Amino acid sequence: MAGPIDLYDVANAERDARAHFSRRAFVCTSTGCLSAGASAIKQQLTDTVTDAGQEQGVQVVPTGCFGLCSRGPLVRVETRDQQPTLYEHVDTDTAQLIADDHLLEGRQASADTVSLELPFFARQEKVVLSNAGKIDPDRIEDYVGQGGYRALQSAVETMTPEGVVKTILRSGLRGRGGAGYPTGRKWEFLSLADGDQKYVVANGDEGDPGAYMDRTIMETDPHRVLEGLSLAGYATGASQGYIYVRAEYPLAIERLERAIREAKRAKLIGRNVLGSDFRFDIEIRIGAGAFVCGEETALMKSIQGERGTPTLRPPYPTERGLWGKPTMIQNVETLANVPVILERGAEWFASLGTSESKGTKVFALTGSLNNTGLIEVPMGITLREIVEEMGGGIPDGRAFKAAQSGGPSGGCIPAPYLDTPVDYENLQKLGSMMGSGGLVVMDETVSMPEVARFYMEFCRDESCGKCTPCRAGTVKMHAFLDRIVSGVGRRRDLQHLESLCHTVRATSMCGLGQSAPNPVFSTLEHFRDEYLELLVPDEAFGPDGNGSSPDAQRAVATSPGGVR
């Protein structure tokens, strides 16, 4: 049996191979651009180059997400002597132009381009997505060529597991799945847990509407997830890792599967990782697309092949998790940060971001914006910078109204708070949350009660049904919202809605139910007038409407929960 590959040999060979090419075209092959015809474009570029017999000097690379998804399909051309050019909205016609003029002749094609100086690109700080648009996700050599797996190598060769945990603790990295729990603390819990068998799980069950950060990371740089997960295993003493991906992400699954196969062949995971005594295996588990399976206890049930419903905590997964063994669940983006932290040091990482929230955060920027797509920004950037500069403002000169962060568990941030630095604490103070990174921008034409109804419909459909308040409560909250939005709501409907929101938040079993009322609370806090305008006034119900009718009395008698 051959030993593990030599990372430096592979990287050097890659660099030499790259030096042969005078021109390189990078075609985005993430889900967004693929659905717009990127694979045909890539084929066309390759064919043209091959037909011209130039494949020794010109390379066409299928790569991961460039970020500016609203302008896809995107093709970037790099040559030795010119600045890189990014072509937007490429179709078969422009692809032919790009191939003929730029790839073969070396002069810029007369096709639509995007300036790489745009704030959308210039303001980004790429840590997790540093390889996005640079490497072919299907080739392990590309990842190694960018310095990949060196963090794992130096960890297993020169560091103790405790040393790795301490580094992560010092870096101040916090969970990117939403709650922002300190990652190092979780690692510490698992490393101290008793057990002959421990598990680490990468949570790729991203479910928030409009969010695709984790999908992009898995599609763009699958080996980074594997390396992060292996490092988590090494630090905590786990020998088995799982990547839980939802079935709606077939491309991510395909690329991860290929990555696992190649990493095993290169002895980067498996029985003796990089020739050391550390044993670590990774398997993929495919979720059936239930939102609640992103909750850690439901996720573990699903991995075990059971019905994906949450269970009571405590015991916490790090005490009793998969099959009763200590288990740690980490978001994909969290794990993707780990190799960089070990390579560049905890202090470097801690220098990014704010005092409580370190590093960067990937956001999926969607909604009423000129530039939508995926961005990675340092923590502490203001919402105004994201929306106005990077997002390029709202189309057609409309005014910004609010941004929803944290998906159905989060809340909206209205215009007066645009200058708030984005980090875990500030968003929580505003009644929202960081969430996994979905950021939906809404303009002045949007009705906030309708937004609340949309998210409540989502929660209603995704409730697992185990606990009463979430199962039945989301149905009734949605019914109240529907009545209000449809213009037949009365004041007591709003009162019942609010009291029910308090009960569902206070009594639900897991995060789904506890946070389901958040969009209602936050839209009510900032846009209560919009709700009141939609209500049918009490006077409309005749002379008894002011409190003498049984209906009005009942409305008064039902005081909101939380008030004694």
Partner 1 sequence: MSPRTGPRPNVPVTIDGVEHKAFEGETVLELAQRVGVRIPTLCHLEGLSIYGGCRLCVVEVTGDRRLSPACALEVTAELEVTTQSWTLHEHRRRIVELLFAEGSHVCAFCVSSGSCELQDLATEHDVDHIHYDFAHPDAGIDASHPKYSLDRDRCVMCTRCVRVCDEVEGAHVWDVAMRGSQGRIVAGMDQPWGEVADCTWCGKCVLVCPTGALSFKGRATSEMVHDPEVVAFLSTAREQGEWLDRKADA
Please list the helix, strand and coil fractions of the chain in percent, rounded to the nearest 5, in that order: 50, 15, 35
- Tell me the angle at which helices 150-158 and 332-344 cross, rounded to the nearest 10 degrees: 70
168/509 with CB nearer partner 1: 509
- Judged by CB under 8 A, the stretch of 147-155, 352-360, 432-440, 552-560 that binds partner 1 is 552-560
516 binds partner 1 (CB under 8 A): no
- Judged by CB under 8 A, the stretch of 9-17, 450-458, 461-469, 530-538 that binds partner 1 is 461-469
314/543 with CB nearer partner 1: 314
Task: Decide: residue 2, CB within 10 A, 0-12 exposed, 13-18 middle, 19+ buried.
Answer: exposed
Q: To the nearest whole angstrom, how small is the minimum distance from the Cβ of residue 455 to partner 1?
A: 15
Task: Decide: residue 286, CB within 10 A, 0-12 exposed, 13-18 middle, 19+ buried.
Answer: middle
Q: To the nearest whole angstrom, how small is the minimum distance from the Cβ of residue 483 to partner 1?
A: 9
Interface with partner 1: number of residues (CB under 8 A): 39
Bond prior to 314 in cis (omega within 30° of 0): yes
Q: To the nearest whole angstrom, how small is the minimum distance from the Cβ of residue 351 to partner 1?
A: 33
Q: To the nearest whole angstrom, how small is the minimum distance from the Cβ of residue 357 to partner 1?
A: 22
Figure out which of the listed residues 40, 116, 179, 479 binds partner 1, where binding follows CB under 8 A. 479
Q: Which two tokens stand for residue 63?
A: 């790569």
Q: To the nearest whole angstrom, how small is the minimum distance from the Cβ of residue 479 to partner 1?
A: 6
According to DSSP, residue 559 is labeled: P
Please state, in angstroms and rounded to a whole number, the distance separating the CA atoms of residues 460 and 465: 9
Burial 120-153 (b: 16+ CB within 10 A, else e): bbebbbbbbbbbbbbbbbebbbbbbbbbbbbbbb
186 binds partner 1 (CB under 8 A): no
540/563 with CB nearer partner 1: 563
536 binds partner 1 (CB under 8 A): no
Closest CA to 528 of 419, 426, 448, 427: 448
325/502 with CB nearer partner 1: 502
Figure out which of the listed residues 54, 420, 447, 558 binds partner 1, where binding follows CB under 8 A. 558
- Judged by CB under 8 A, the stretch of 5-13, 45-53, 85-93, 460-468 that binds partner 1 is 460-468
Q: How many residues are present in the chain?
A: 564
Closest CA to 156 of 345, 342, 349, 344: 342
According to DSSP, residue 101 is labeled: I
Show the binding pattern over residues 287-326: x = contacts partner 1 (CB under 8 A), - = does not: ---x-x--------------x---xx-x------------
Amino acid at 303: I
Please state, in angstroms and rounded to a whole number, the distance separating the CA atoms of residues 96 and 74: 14
Q: Which residues bind partner 1 (CB under 8 A)?
A: 290, 292, 307, 311-312, 314, 460-469, 471-476, 479, 496, 499-500, 502-503, 506-509, 554, 558-559, 561-564
